[in-house]
Amino acid sequence: MKKHTLLYTSLLFAALFLVSSCTESEELAEKNYQLAWQDEFDGPAGQLPDEKNWSFDIGTDWGNQQLEYDTDRAENVSLDGNGNLAIIARRESFAGSAFTSGRIKTKGLFEQTYGRFEASIKMPWGPGIWPAFWLLGSDIDEVGWPQCGEIDIMEYRGQETNLIHGSIHGPNYSGGEAITKSYGLADNRFDKDFFLYAIEWTEDYIDFFVNEEHYQRISREDAPGEWVYDHPFYIILNVAVGGNYVGFPTDQTPFPQTMLVDYVRVYKEAN
């Protein structure tokens, strides 16, 4: 997928988005977004992601029974020299784990309340591979999870190459009780090309998109618990190996596995 223009206008959204009601169409068409933050991942192969934009989570498990050890090595997270970020899961013994991978975040560097968050990503694949593009509430250290809120713009099970999932987690609707919906491809796979994954997040709802197709709206009144999406969130990109969401890798899971990210961009409404 080619890089998109940096300014989304109301006319562009009205032309591209397929929505299910007149009210929803009007709400989408009214938005006039301006770029607030971006990383295009330009640079030489092997270079670490820009430290002004990203820091590393280093360690293992993260509460999901993941098997990989996430490192800050270029072998796991680096630019590929072709305008992409590569997050690479490897089968190797490291710090007591059988796999390595990467998990980067904008915590303390960039956080925003509301707006459009998008990334162009080409997936890895295989049983037990779990890539994600997601947001966490910046108050997680004070209130904990899920009170901080979590927005999964894209999650993917590597054994289901034609499906992605968009979800939110909050108090009384987290983990297996998250509010979620899947988006499927009829005759393609998410590991064969770059796809654009996005949310548009407002005071009253969060809309989910794949390649500009709107497939889910979660509104404030849909939450069976407190709506915890009225404060800043930060971005996370990672590739997990194993975990309670995807199960274990198998002998048929090839390694290394790479998630390529063409860009990440965040917009805010001009008005």
Average pLDDT over residues 234-239: 98
3-state secondary structure of 4: coil
Is 130 within the bounds of a domain? yes
Query: Which pLDDT score, from 0 to 100, does residue 31 have?
Result: 84
Is 72 within the bounds of a domain? yes
Locate 34 and state its tokens.
């301006």
Helices (runs of H) and strands (runs of E) counted in the chain: 3, 19
Rounded to two decimals, what is the model's pTM? 0.90
Catalytic residue among 68, 118, 155, 200: 155
Is 29 within the bounds of a domain? no
**231 burial via Cβ count (<10 Å: 0-12, 13-18, 19+):** middle
Q: For 183-225, how does the pLDDT look when each residue is reduced to its tens digit (9 = 90+)?
A: 999 999 999 999 999 999 999 999 999 999 999 999 999 999 9
Q: Please tell me the total count of domains within the chain.
A: 1
Q: How confident is the model at residue 5 (pLDDT cuts 50, 70, 90)?
A: very low
Catalytic residue among 27, 68, 118, 150: 150
Question: Is 116 or 22 the better-scoring residue by pLDDT?
Answer: 116
Is 14 within the bounds of a domain? no
CATH of the domain at 254: 2.60.120.200
H or E segment to which residue 115 belongs: strand 115-122
The Cα 163–Cα 165 span in angstroms is 7
Q: For 18-51, how does the pLDDT look when each residue is reduced to its tens digit (9 = 90+)?
A: 444 444 555 555 789 999 999 999 999 999 999 9
Q: Is 155 designated active site?
A: yes
Query: Which pLDDT score, from 0 to 100, does residue 13 have?
Result: 40
Is 13 within the bounds of a domain? no
Average pLDDT over residues 76-91: 98
Q: Which of 257, 215, 167, 258 lies closest to 28, judged by CA?
A: 215
Query: Which pLDDT score, from 0 to 100, does residue 29 have?
Result: 58
H or E segment to which residue 38 belongs: strand 33-39
Instruction: State the number of CA atoms in the 13 A half-sphere of 49 facing the CB.
Output: 29
Locate 164 and state its tokens.
């992605």
Percent of the chain whose pLDDT exceeds 90 = 86
Average pLDDT over residues 241-261: 95
Average pLDDT over residues 106-132: 98
Is 11 within the bounds of a domain? no
Is 180 within the bounds of a domain? yes
Query: Which pLDDT score, from 0 to 100, does residue 22 have?
Result: 46
Is 131 within the bounds of a domain? yes
Place of tokens 């409404």: 269
H or E segment to which residue 15 belongs: helix 10-16
**DSSP secondary structure of 64-87:** TT--EEE---TTTEEE-SSS-EEE
Domain containing 232 equals: 39-266
Q: For 121-148, how does the pLDDT look when each residue is reduced to its tens digit (9 = 90+)?
A: 999 999 999 999 999 999 999 999 999 9
Query: Which pLDDT score, from 0 to 100, does residue 252 have?
Result: 86
